[in-house]
Chain A
Amino acid sequence: MKFARLVLKSARRSKRRTALTILSVAIAVFLFASLRAVLDGFSAVAEASSSTRVVTIRSTSMIFNMPTSHADVIRGIPGVQDVTWANWFGGIYKDPKNFFGQFGIDAESYLRMYPEILVSPGEKRAFLEDRTGALVGDGLVRKYGWHVGDRIVIQPGIPYYGTQDYTFTIRGVYRSGASNVDNQTFLFHWKYLDERAGGAGQVGWYVTQLRNPDDAARIAMVIDQKFANSPYETKTDTEKQFSAQFASMLGNLNLLLGSVALAVVITTLFVAGNTMAMSVRERTTEIAVMRTLGYPASTIFLLVVGEGLMVAIVGGAIGAGLARLVINGEYLGMAGGFIPAFGVNNWNVVVGLGLSVLIGILAAMIPATMASRLKIVDALRRVA
Chain B
Amino acid sequence: MGLVSGYNLRSMLVRKGTAAMTAMGIAMVVAVFVMTLAIAQGFRSTLVASGSTGNAIVLRKSATSETVSAVLKNQLPIIESMAQVARDGDGHPLASPELVVIISLPRISDGRPANVPLRGVGPRAYEVRDTLQIVEGRRFVPGTREINVGRQAVGRFRGLTFGSDVKFGGATWKVVGIFTADDASFESEVWGDVDLMMPAFQRGGYQSVTVKLSDPAAFSSFDVAMGADPRLDLKPQREREYYEGQSETTGTLIRVFATFVTAILSIGAMFGAMNTMYAAVAYRTREIGTLRALGFSRLRIVTAFLAESVALALIGGVIGCILALPVHGLSTGAMNMASFSELAFKFRITPGLLGGGLLFAAIMGGIGGLLPAIRAARIPVARALREI
Rounded to whole angstroms, the CA-CA distance of A53 and B186 in the bound complex is 37
Do A250 and B268 contact each other (CB < 8 Å), given the known contacts A63-B340, A267-B29, A335-B253?
Answer: no
Cβ-defined contact, A270 with B272, below 8 A: yes
Rounded to whole angstroms, the CA-CA distance of A28 and B25 in the bound complex is 12
Residues of B bordering A, CB below 8 Å: 17-18, 21-22, 24-25, 28-29, 31-32, 36, 39, 60, 62, 64, 67-70, 101-104, 110, 112-115, 168-170, 201-202, 249, 253, 261, 264-265, 267-269, 271-272, 274-276, 278-279, 332-335, 337, 340, 342, 388
Shortest C-beta distance, B96 to chain A (Å), equals 19
Cβ-defined contact, A30 with B112, below 8 A: no
For window 36-92 of A, CB contacts with B under 8 Å fall at 59-64, 90, 92
Do A274 and B267 contact each other (CB < 8 Å), given the known contacts A159-B60, A250-B335, A260-B36?
Answer: no
Contacts of A20 in B (CB 8 A): 271-272, 274-275
Do A31 and B264 contact each other (CB < 8 Å), given the known contacts A21-B275, A248-B110, A248-B112?
Answer: yes
Contacts of B388 in A (CB 8 A): 383-384
| Contact string against B for A residues 226-255, beta-carbon threshold 8 Å, 1 for contact and 0 otherwise | 000001010100000000110011111000
Contacts of B115 in A (CB 8 A): 61, 249
Q: Which of A21, A231, A268 has the largest number of chain B CB atoms within 10 A?
A: A268
19 CB contacts below 8 A, A to B, read: A23-B267, A24-B267, A30-B264, A60-B103, A61-B115, A64-B202, A157-B64, A159-B69, A159-B70, A235-B104, A250-B335, A251-B333, A268-B268, A270-B272, A274-B21, A274-B25, A274-B275, A275-B275, A277-B17
Out of B24, B68, B104, B275, name the residue touching A60 (CB < 8 Å).
B104
Contacts of B264 in A (CB 8 A): 27, 30-31
Shortest C-beta distance, B385 to chain A (Å), equals 16
Answer yes or no: A16 CB below 8 A from chain B CBs.
Answer: yes
Residue of B nearest to A267 (CB): B28
Q: How many chain A residues touch the partner (CB < 8 A)?
A: 54
Cβ-defined contact, B21 with A17, below 8 A: no
Cβ-defined contact, A263 with B168, below 8 A: no
Rounded to whole angstroms, the CA-CA distance of A245 and B21 in the bound complex is 42
Contacts of A266 in B (CB 8 A): 28
Contacts of A92 in B (CB 8 A): 64
Additional A-B contacts beyond A23-B271, A60-B168, A231-B170 (16; CB < 8 A): A20-B271, A20-B274, A60-B169, A62-B104, A250-B335, A251-B333, A264-B265, A264-B268, A267-B25, A267-B28, A267-B268, A271-B25, A271-B275, A274-B21, A274-B272, A275-B272
Answer yes or no: A278 CB below 8 A from chain B CBs.
Answer: yes
Shortest C-beta distance, B25 to chain A (Å), equals 4
Out of A21, A61, A245, A277, name the residue touching B101 (CB < 8 Å).
A61
